[in-house]
Amino acid sequence: MKNKEKRAVRRSGAKIMASLILLLGSLAYIMVLAVINGSVGFLCAMGVTLFGAVGIAKALGEAISLSYGVIVTLTIVCGVLRGLLRYLEQYSNHYIAFRLLAVLRDKIFGALRTLCPAKLESKQKGSIIAMITSDIETLEVFYAHTISPICIAVLVSSCICVFVGTVSGWWLALVALVGFVTVGIVVPMISSGKLKESGVRYRSEFASFNAYFLDSIKGIKDIVLHNAGTEREAEVNRRSDVLLGETKKMKHDTTKAAAATELCVSLFILITLAVGILLVTKDMLTIGRMIIGVVAVFGSFGPVIAISALPGNLTQTFASGDRVLNLLAEEPAVQPVIDGKDMVYNNLEVKNLSFSYDGQTQVLSDICMHAEQGEIIGIVGESGCGKSTLLKLLLRFWKKNQGEILYNGADIDVIDSESLLDNVTMVSQVTYLFDETIEENLRIAKPDAMKEELEEACKLASVHDFILSLPEGYQSRVGALGDNLSAGEKQRIGLARAFLRGSALILLDEPTSNVDSINEGIILNALKEQKSKKSIILVSHRESTMSIADRIYHMEGGKLWA
Ligand SMILES: Nc1ncnc2c1ncn2[C@@H]1O[C@H](COP(=O)(O)OP(=O)(O)O)[C@@H](O)[C@H]1O
Ligand SMILES: [Mg+2]
């Protein structure tokens, strides 16, 4: 966890920003529109006070060719335009942001699909949930409230400098320029180091607290059973206090930075005024032009204040952006084979198969086995010897290191992935049922199945009668059944899914190890009856499960023998 966080801040802010902007793609032109609207809008806002100053300058005897009527009209036009342009700016920014969030969510789910299942085994589920929810939300801040403010600040500040320089002389323009650079760049840079640190720490505490809390809720039954509630509660409270502490620190740092900014703005306004007065006393500037110049500078800090307020958000944004970019850049453990060989399962042969997850610890070494049509193959071995790993390799969840996995004589790496998954199905130790109806849960194996097909599969898995005994039959919601659904019944539904899928080869990974002996008997019988139509590879650490097997392999320490 700690290592991951360290890696997450390693990509530089500029690089993250560039990568995130690249994701804009064709939405970039709307961003340009937003920036133009925002800049012109801000200049209009300044126009309101500026034309006021022009009016005063005229009253003070400055030679201004505009009549009072025109000055008042221009002031009103500026005011109305400001409102309109601001609306357009915000509209385009949010249009971009939400369109992009939709695109990003789609990309993340796409990435999860290709990374699944291998790469997701090791990732904490809490952090993925955090990524899908809060990280994406944080990026909204970036797209809607970060890129265009920066561009607007640069554009508006340049316009003001040129304007003040032409109207009131370049000395005042220089003061304004130094002010903009100080408020918009220097102060934020000084405070950003601290803010970045506290932002990253806050995010990491937040994610870790979420994961721990979610985990505690999921395991609440075991906590109560082992009377471990007090310790768990204490740990939740401790983490919550740490999170609160980090939040306070972050708020404290943010406030300090904001105060420094305000102070600088006030200082530079005073300096501008002083320089203006000095220039007037030295007869280098008329009072009227001085007033116009000073008023222009007074009102012009808005956009740079807006970017100085960014770092607090930005560090969080960068941390979120980095995590999202990391996920998008993560290489899947295996690439699906597209346009590969189609197959109709007939037999399986494994030759000298070796595998290691990390390149160091050998999990499987030199495995040889075969399975023919209509056979039930048993693989028995102690927990941790590599049985599940072997099954995962047969489904190509991971890429094998050495040896061959041949379906009908063709290597698994050239077989079309879709075709492979159509032919081979796995029922794992625990069947996950979604909080939907039983029927919908079955349909994930075959979305367009006829009702008769569903019932047929359930009959084969000896679970049809049980489902009918439920108050709403196939329409019963799994969530509403809660504990009324035993592990054995869930497993039988899992088995029905596998039958419904219609695959010729079914891999069963400890299908009965969480199940009572009655259910084990039912499941094993159901399998035996399928024997003539299906090939089955049955894995278990229990010898008793092997009673239905035609041939049995033994496994120990990653080695297999008959
Ligand atoms: N995703 C993984 N990453 C790294 N090591 C793993 C992973 N899955 C399993 N292992 C390790 O591989 C070995 C074999 O595990 P497994 O195939 O699950 O055994 P079995 O199913 O026989 O109990 C174990 O030492 C386990 O810790
Ligand atoms: Mg296992």
- Whether the CB-CB separation of 336 and 125 falls below 8 Å is answered with no
Cβ-Cβ contacts under 8 Å for 54 (sequence gap 6 or more) = 64, 66, 71, 292
Separation between Cα atoms, residue 429 and residue 514, nearest integer Å: 7
Q: What are phi and psi of 342, to 5 degrees?
A: -80, 150
- List the residue whose alpha carbon is closest to atom 27 of ligand 1: 384
- List the residue whose alpha carbon is closest to atom 14 of ligand 1: 386
Residue spans of beta strands (DSSP E) within 488-540: 505-509, 535-540
Atom of ligand 1 nearest to the CA of 122: 1
Best probe residue, ligand 1, of 365, 389, 398, 560 (max atoms within 8 Å of C-beta): 389
What number of CA atoms fall less than 13 Å from residue 67's CA on the CB side?
A: 3
Distance 306 CA to ligand 2 centre (A): 55
What count of other Cβ atoms lies within 10 Å of the Cβ of residue 284?
Answer: 11
Question: What pLDDT, on the 0 to 100 scale, is given for residue 8?
Answer: 43
Best probe residue, ligand 1, of 388, 399, 428 (max atoms within 8 Å of C-beta): 388
Q: How far is CA 472 from CA 63, 127, 210, 467, in A?
A: 88, 37, 36, 8
Question: What pLDDT, on the 0 to 100 scale, is given for residue 7?
Answer: 46
Question: What pLDDT, on the 0 to 100 scale, is given for residue 450?
Answer: 93
Helices 147-168 and 28-59 cross at an angle (nearest 10°) of 30
- The number of the ligand nearest the C-alpha atom of 364 reads 1
Residue 3 pLDDT > 80, yes or no?
A: no
Tell me how many degrees the CA angle 282-283-287 measures, rounded to the nearest 5. 115
- Whether the CB-CB separation of 340 and 351 falls below 8 Å is answered with no
Residue type, 388: S
Separation between Cα atoms, residue 467 and residue 478, nearest integer Å: 11
3-state SS track over 67-97: CHHHHHHHHHHHHHHHHHHHHHHHHHHHHHH
Task: Name the one residue in this structure whose structure tokens are 């760049």.
Answer: 185
Mean pLDDT (whole number) for 56-67: 86
Confidence of residue 409 (pLDDT cuts 50, 70, 90): very high
- List the residue whose alpha carbon is closest to atom 2 of ligand 1: 357
Distance 389 CA to ligand 1 centre (A): 6
Mean pLDDT (whole number) for 84-90: 90
What count of other Cβ atoms lies within 10 Å of the Cβ of residue 554?
Answer: 15
Q: For 437-496, give the DSSP string.
A: BHHHHHHTT-TT--HHHHHHHHHHTT-HHHHHTSTTGGG-BHHHHGGGS-HHHHHHHHHH
Report CA Rg, the chain: 34
Question: Higher-confidence residue: 412 or 6?
Answer: 412
Residue 481 pLDDT > 80, yes or no?
A: no
Mean pLDDT (whole number) for 335-339: 87
Question: What pLDDT, on the 0 to 100 scale, is given for residue 324?
Answer: 85
Residue spans of beta strands (DSSP E) within 43-191: none
Q: What are phi and psi of 544, to 5 degrees?
A: -60, -35
Write down all domains in the chain, each with its CATH number in brackets. 2-329 (1.20.1560.10), 348-561 (3.40.50.300)
The DSSP element (H or E) to which 169 belongs, if any, is none
Question: What pLDDT, on the 0 to 100 scale, is given for residue 2?
Answer: 39
What count of other Cβ atoms lies within 10 Å of the Cβ of residue 403?
Answer: 18
pLDDT in tens, 432-463: 889 899 999 999 999 999 999 999 999 988 89
Q: How far is CA 323 from CA 203, 223, 346, 350, in A?
A: 11, 32, 44, 39
Cβ-Cβ contacts under 8 Å for 409 (sequence gap 6 or more) = 349
Task: Please give all residues whose beta carbon lies within 6 A of any atom in ligand 1, as ranges.
Answer: 121-122, 357, 363, 381, 383-389
Cβ-Cβ contacts under 8 Å for 543 (sequence gap 6 or more) = 380
- List the residue whose alpha carbon is closest to atom 8 of ligand 1: 389
The mean of the pLDDT values for the chain is 87
Structure tokens of 63?
Answer: 């030679």
Separation between Cα atoms, residue 537 and residue 94, nearest integer Å: 54
Residue 309 pLDDT > 80, yes or no?
A: no
338-369 b/e (C-beta count within 10 Å ≥ 16 → b):
eebeebebeebebeebebbeeeeebbbbebeb
| pTM of the predicted model as reported, rounded to 2 decimal places | 0.67
pLDDT in tens, 152-193: 999 999 999 999 999 998 999 999 999 999 998 898 888 877
pLDDT in tens, 10-19: 678 788 888 8
- List the residue whose alpha carbon is closest to atom 25 of ligand 1: 384
ω into residue 332 within 30 of 0, thus cis? no
Question: What pLDDT, on the 0 to 100 scale, is given for residue 1?
Answer: 38
Q: What are phi and psi of 364, to 5 degrees?
A: -125, 135
**Least confident range of 81-90, 128-137, 496-505:** 128-137
Counting DSSP H helices and E strands in the chain, the numbers are: 23, 10
Residue 124 pLDDT > 80, yes or no?
A: no
